[in-house]
Structure 1
Amino acid sequence: MTGEPVKRGFLGATLDYAGSRYVNAGPEQCSYTTQAVQIPMSDGVKLAADFYDPELQDSQKPLGLIMVQCCYGRGAGISFLNARVFVARGYRALFVSTRGTHGSEGTFSPGINEASDSQDIVKWMRQQSWYPGTFATMGASYLGYSQWALLRDPPADCVAAVIPVGPHDLALHVWKTGSFRLDRASWSDSMATPEEERGSFLGRLSKLPGLSFLSSSGLEKAIAGLPLEASLQEYFKDRAPWLFDYLAHPDVDDPYWITKRQQAALESATIPILLVSGWYDAFEPQTMQQYKRLSERGVDVSLVVGPWTHIQGCGLRSIPETMDFFAQHLAKTGEYGRSRARIFVTGAEEWRSMPTWPPNTESKMLYLQDATGLDSELPAQDVAPASFIFDPRDPTPSIGGSQLFAGGRVDDSIYGGRSDVLAFTSQTLLEDLEVLGAPSVQLSHSSDPPFADLFLRLSEVDSNGVSHNISEMYQALDPTRDTSRSLHLDLTDCAHRFKAGTRIRLIVAGGSFPMYARNLGTEEDRVRSDKTIIQTHKITIAAGVSRLILPVSVPV
């Protein structure tokens, strides 16, 4: 230990009280002390941390120990959600700053040291007089990634984990679609900006405007520049070197990504795990993959999915579930008492308890009819193909959806009026239709030139003609593909009730910028070239070869 325990003061107690009411945490059980510590790693680096200890009656014992690794600081906001709210209810917590961040020695390099450092933290904890013999982990987003890094070689004394909106595979997020995910630039900007310039990370996020996930510091201009890599290098200079490593390794199977992919944790984890996600979270596909694989292996895994963005899903809305989960699996004082899958159904605007996710469904086909129609009947045999043009110099904009910092459910009606977008819309529904699972699209598609991307979105059009997004996907297309064969493209999971009186809309575009690096229409590297070619997309509709496939609830 490197510091003396400090009792919580009046201001801290006031903030904890207000925060607890906001997150519905219930009444406090005690106050606590905070002690600064330095944790030695096996290579000599020391990590800065805060040890939180509840002030209990002599006859009481702490309910358990929660370990958190965090790269975003240990300030009031983030420590409340990941430590203080639990410590004030009887738990101990060790809140550790990731290597190279917020007082911890070493160099921050995403995905490089989390696996080894987390094991060293556990070894150090076991040597402390306050160590109870077992612990749980928690933390959202990159804090969740750090948990997966630990669980690839799970310590026997780690008994539970709570992982909200946390990826296990950095490569999949960055390059799975075949196009570079540009939120890596904005995230890297936040991580590489000195603390005294940016303030707290959460404070920086709260200032991000409108639909842009970019700061106002010039990053927006840098991302819009071509060539992309050179434009970003001019902006970042020698900051965030990992960002340029990402750009240099577009193949997710490249050995470069080995340390950054924690797929092994999905095969080795055996402890109870609570997963939390949001329908508009950037990492929702990975959370669904985690839940599916752990369930297949018989792991005690629970899932909560709300109508949330990434930021909303980081713990603000799921503290009650986390409290109950720890009561059963760490403190052994209660029961989780919830279904394996607790799902919010948008449209119906209700929570639904399910034994698993996705539930049993049946497929409903809606065929593209012409340049604007969508119907359950096959289209006419002589219907002409639909087409649109994508201009890399004036790319289709990202509006809401799974953007990391500023996505969510939004009015995306503007897509219906753009010349670079096709919006296929059904007739008004005469009865409710509930979609539960991952919609998919079969598309007979070609482009000239063959270098092109596709952005697909499922939306709902209300009785006033206003459209709101539900699910989406993005894919860079293989230019050597056989265009005589239809593409099969899966959108992200959703749970939505289209009510009678609404319409179903499928949006098809050639880009979503600045969420993804645009396809330049050439065989040259999209991050290193400034040459662009306008791309003409054509979709064949005749004979029902292009269709939207919805997983709809099975009538009881």
Structure 2
Amino acid sequence: MAGQPVKRSYSNATLDYLGARYLGVGPELCSYTTQAVQIPMRDGINLEADFYSPELPDKQSPAGLIMIQCCYGRGAGISFINARVFAARGYQAVFVSTRGTYGSGGTFDPGSNEQSDSQDIVAWMRQQSWYPGSFATLGPSYLGYSQWALLHDPPEDCIAAVIPVGPHDQASHAWDTGSFRLDRASWSDMMSRPDDEKGGFLSRLSHLPGLSFLRPAELEKAVEGLPLEESLQKYFGDRAPWLFEYLKHPDVENSYWTSRRHHVSLERANIPILLVSGWYDTFTRQTIHQFQRLHDRGVNVNLVVGPWTHVQGSGLHSMPEIMDFLAEHLAKAGKYDRSQARVFVTGSEEWRSLPNWPPPSQPIALYLQAQGGIGSTLPTQGARPSSFVFDPLDPTPSIGGNQMSGGGRVNDSVYADRTDVLAFTSEPMTEDLEIMGCPFVHLMHESDPPFADLWVRLSEVDTDDVSHNITEVYRALDPARDMSQPLKLELQECAHRFRVGTRVRLIIAGGFFPMYARSLGTAENRVYSDKTVPQRHTLEIAGGVSQLVLPVAAAV
């Protein structure tokens, strides 16, 4: 079923013009029409969609067809960056609401139906008179996940993909640290509210990722409550049943997650793919893994990583590059001549073009010192251990970093003054030091009791004595680990230059809340228990047994 094509309104044309100016994508080529359509699925339900058709001069064909699957509605804001900006430049677009959202039939169960539904959308497109014979896919975040679900079984007529900040593995995002990522609760809160919920613009904004300052106080209290599952259940009621399935399945290899993981797509995809991320994105690790696996297979893949958060990396700052990519690989009428990897080097505040990521590097070790120092000099054998206590009832707060909301590069100087944090700071740099790749730490670490987590962050202290975050890692520790052996933790990859006069800072804590569900310090399940025990963490310093290893970029 389909409605009549509707010409673009004056107000939408104005919004399109202003939005394109902000994105820097150049002038429009045409106007367009929008047609409401219904797309039948194999189980009998219909997905609601809008078909965008450019109004081109006679005998001029569209530049190509773009397929977008979206669970966040098809309203003005989100349709602009995912469909309308392309329609006004000559592309057709099919903008589909995910099953169970914004008029589409069925029940929304994140990640479980995208693989089959995307194939059904493709089958429907092939039957339409306007189908040009091939298409590209596009869209950030969950829209990117839907693309990976399609590429689980790549259609022959899918010839390119643009995937900004898009995960391929929902299980890893929720549980790969061993602790539950609590942004799954705020996202589930947004996704489980009725599409027509009243309350005004700000009320709806309060549930959008990236706007944590507007989140309901009730949700914040629910996340803080113990037991966690019981507290969330009281808040959600019968909403977001998937959230409680997430909580129930911490093992990422459990069969529950099978339909929500698409590592096989990285082995089967063989089309040009543009990946976009940010150093402070929620899914940076997954995007870099996608690039590395596809690049190793010889796939035509490009990576862009900016100084961006999740929302910023969704295309707001990379639309000109996306347009160039589609012009070559979909419209066959342009040239995309970027390097395989283009990354923003924080500290030097410049873009770097590279043939691969990470580039060659040379590891250098900085040793943790007594009295909170860190440097290239080995501490003496008599250096005393450093310790702190993590209290589950007063957890170390999440400040900046790769949070879905409230993240990014921030002033994190406050950590150095907390008693539940160890901060090791170097002397001022006497020459520039540029790192590219994956820093890691070797820590001779003990915890009492053994049930504990570690959060480690690399930061830079500037010449005004203000600290800003660069990269980090979180890990729920194995209580059966051999504490006589050093613990190795890899921080997320980064690209940063420490300028002369700045200082290296390593921050170590036992939690990062509310980004991650806190360690309770007991053998009981952190999701279902309310029993807590403070945990004493001790780091051995003597002889250089605890160290930070930095990947120093090789001279070009």
Residue of structure 2 in register with 1:334 after alignment: 334
Give the Cα–Cα distance (whole angstroms) in 1 for the partners of residues 209 and 248 of structure 2: 30
Give the Cα–Cα distance (whole angstroms) in 2 for the partners of residues 380 and 198 of structure 1: 65
Whether the aligned pair in 1 keeps the contact of 2:187 and 2:209 (CA below 8 Å) is no
Taking the TM superposition and a 5 Å limit, the aligned residue runs for 1:93-492 are 93-197=93-197, 204-205=204-205, 212=212, 215-492=215-492
- CA deviation profile, 1:1-51 (whole Å, cap 9, x unmatched): 420000001001000000000011100000000000000000001000000
1:12 is aligned to 2:1: no
Whether the aligned pair in 1 keeps the contact of 2:210 and 2:404 (CA below 8 Å) is no
Deviation at 1:194, TM superposition (A): 1.4
CA shift in 2, pair 1:88/1:14, >3 Å: same
Q: In structure 1, what residue type is equivalent to 2:464?
A: N
Deviation at 1:213, TM superposition (A): 6.8
CA shift in 2, pair 1:209/1:38, >3 Å: closer
- CA deviation profile, 1:244-285 (whole Å, cap 9, x unmatched): 000000000111110000111001100000000000001000
Whether the aligned pair in 2 keeps the contact of 1:213 and 1:403 (CA below 8 Å) is no
- CA deviation profile, 1:445-497 (whole Å, cap 9, x unmatched): 01000000000000000111100000001000000000111111001111111
Deviates more, 1:353-362 or 1:167-176: 353-362
Q: In structure 1, what residue type is equivalent to 2:410?
A: V
Give the Cα–Cα distance (whole angstroms) in 2 for the partners of residues 226 and 440 of structure 1: 33
Deviation at 1:202, TM superposition (A): 10
Q: In structure 2, what residue type is equivalent to 1:22?
A: Y
SS of 2:358's equivalent in the other structure is coil
SS of 2:197's equivalent in the other structure is helix
Residue of structure 2 in register with 1:545 after alignment: 545
Give the Cα–Cα distance (whole angstroms) in 2 for the partners of residues 439 and 322 of structure 1: 30
Residue of structure 2 in register with 1:525 after alignment: 525
SS of 2:73's equivalent in the other structure is coil
SS of 1:253's equivalent in the other structure is coil
Deviation at 1:188, TM superposition (A): 0.1
CA shift in 2, pair 1:46/1:18, >3 Å: same
Whether the aligned pair in 2 keeps the contact of 1:72 and 1:200 (CA below 8 Å) is no
Q: Which runs of 5+ in 2 are unaligned?
A: none
CA-based RMSD of the aligned residues comes to 1.5
- CA deviation profile, 1:48-88 (whole Å, cap 9, x unmatched): 00000000000211000000000000011110111000110
Q: TM-score, normalised by structure 2?
A: 0.98
Deviation at 1:198, TM superposition (A): 6.5
Q: In structure 1, what residue type is equivalent to 2:108?
A: F
CA shift in 2, pair 1:266/1:207, >3 Å: closer
Whether the aligned pair in 2 keeps the contact of 1:371 and 1:385 (CA below 8 Å) is no
Whether the aligned pair in 2 keeps the contact of 1:340 and 1:354 (CA below 8 Å) is yes
Deviation at 1:315, TM superposition (A): 1.0
Deviation at 1:553, TM superposition (A): 1.2
- Give structure 1 regions of 4+ aligned residues with deviation exceeding 3 angstroms: 198-214
Q: TM-score, normalised by structure 1?
A: 0.98
Give the Cα–Cα distance (whole angstroms) in 2 for the partners of residues 156 and 150 of structure 1: 11
Whether the aligned pair in 1 keeps the contact of 2:324 and 2:334 (CA below 8 Å) is yes
Deviates more, 1:442-451 or 1:198-207: 198-207
Q: Percent identity?
A: 68
SS of 2:370's equivalent in the other structure is coil
CA shift in 2, pair 1:130/1:123, >3 Å: same
Q: In structure 1, what residue type is equivalent to 2:401?
A: G
Deviates more, 1:203-212 or 1:396-405: 203-212
Give the Cα–Cα distance (whole angstroms) in 2 for the partners of residues 176 and 394 of structure 1: 24
Whether the aligned pair in 1 keeps the contact of 2:189 and 2:207 (CA below 8 Å) is no
Deviation at 1:405, TM superposition (A): 1.8
Give the Cα–Cα distance (whole angstroms) in 2 for the partners of residues 209 and 248 of structure 1: 23
Q: How many pairs are equivalent?
A: 556
SS of 1:285's equivalent in the other structure is helix
Give the Cα–Cα distance (whole angstroms) in 1 for the partners of residues 505 and 201 of structure 2: 37
Whether the aligned pair in 2 keeps the contact of 1:16 and 1:80 (CA below 8 Å) is yes
Whether the aligned pair in 2 keeps the contact of 1:188 and 1:243 (CA below 8 Å) is yes
Whether the aligned pair in 1 keeps the contact of 2:275 and 2:287 (CA below 8 Å) is yes
Give the Cα–Cα distance (whole angstroms) in 1 for the partners of residues 553 and 221 of structure 2: 45
- CA deviation profile, 1:232-252 (whole Å, cap 9, x unmatched): 000000000000000000000
Q: Which runs of 5+ in 1 are unaligned?
A: none
Give the Cα–Cα distance (whole angstroms) in 1 for the partners of residues 324 and 385 of structure 2: 55
Residue of structure 1 in register with 2:505 after alignment: 505
Residue of structure 1 in register with 2:72 after alignment: 72
